[in-house]
A and B are shown apart, each in its own frame.
Chain A
Amino acid sequence: MMKSPVSAVATALLIGWVGTAGAIDPSAAFADPALQARYEHLTNELRCLVCQNQTIADSNASLAGDLRREVREMIARGDTEAQIKDFLTARYGDFVLYDPPLSARTLFLWAAPGLFVLLTVGVVVRTVIRRARQPIDADDSEESA
């Protein structure tokens, strides 16, 4: 398989990008791989409040660094994931979580994709039924118009 120069450059860029992702922390936070995994899992689920479109694992903002330190210390202390999330949501609200919990306030957020699917299905079904009922010659004249 021949690779075009464009795809070669794109591949190189992608490899470079993947290579730098997660390079914010200079070294692993924990020697214990299990704790390190928990740390990486959590920091990838928490939003950096300064940049707002990055997780605290991705961001080099000073606040993200402080929040990573906070998470690291709480894991080292043996706090559960729920305790760490409670600590942060008490201060920053649900917005700090990339995966907001289902509550009365977020109900519409969670229901919206389903509502849109229902709406789309409804429109499609209605259109199909209407078209099916139309006489064939009327349909032809519409398409040729």
Chain B
Amino acid sequence: MWRYFTPAIAFLLLGALFAVALVRIENGTMDPRAIKSPLLGKAAPTFVLPTVTEPSRPFDSAVLKGHPYVINVWGTWCPACREEHSALLVIARRAGIPFIGIDWKDDRQQAQQYLGQLGNPYTETVADDEGRVAIDWGVYGAPETFLVGADGQVLVKFAGALTEAIWAEKFAPFVQGGG
């Protein structure tokens, strides 16, 4: 009797596991490629980088100290960044905290053009031409978005195209007033 039931039950359990995973991947609640950032709960990496608009004027992340802020890693070469851009404009306006764009291994001219055409959600956009700051943040794809708290700790990391729903679920609870 058990000889027939055991494989059948094992098969059904496996099938159920796969079905749950497929549904969760499909609706975006699970990303099998996502890597949990070891930076969460740690001090945010600091950086000094030239700004995209005025390359002669460097931006020092030390000025952000004491306030919550958002880091968004993007590039004009990245289709998912274009996809999240309109949502980013809305989110950044509502959140009322600085949004720092890190333009990752990109062409400055194209970056300026891109922001001119699609709108600029960023308080400040810095150019990481060599990708060194991106490595400090553990970036492995674009776009990636981080929320840093007033105490300088990395609170949230999200890899992939941001939407207002994802912001409301993952980021807003950490932003005063909900963003």
Contacts and interface: CB of A to CB of B under 8 A. Distances in A.
The 4 closest A-B CB pairs, nearest first, are A49-B140, A91-B138, A66-B131, A93-B38
Contact of A62 (B36, B38, B105): B105
B135 A91 contact: yes
A95 interface: yes
A95 B72 CA distance: 23
Nearest to A65: B131
Contacts of B96: none
A97 interface: no
B35 A92 contact: yes
Contact of A63 (B33, B36, B39, B140): B140
B137 interface: yes
Given A66-B135, A91-B137, 18 more contacts: A50-B141, A62-B131, A63-B134, A63-B139, A63-B140, A66-B130, A66-B131, A66-B132, A66-B134, A67-B135, A89-B38, A91-B38, A91-B135, A91-B136, A93-B36, A93-B37, A93-B38, A95-B35
Contacts of A93: 35-38, 138
B-side interface mostly: loop
Contact of B140 (A70, A89, A90, A92): A92
A63 B38 contact: no
Contacts of A90: 38
Chain A contact-residue range equals: 10 to 19
Interface of A: 49-50, 52, 62-63, 66-67, 70, 89-93, 95
Given A49-B35, A66-B130, A92 B105 contact: no
B19 to A, nearest CB: 23
A70 B136 CA distance: 11
A92 B131 contact: no
Contacts of A67: 135
Contacts of B135: 66-67, 70, 91
Nearest to B75: A62
Interface string B6-45: 0000000000000000000000000001011111000000
A106 to B, nearest CB: 13
- Which of A50, A67, A90, A91 has the most chain B CB within a 10 Å cutoff? A91
Contacts of B39: 91
Nearest to A66: B131
Contacts of A92: 35, 38, 138, 140
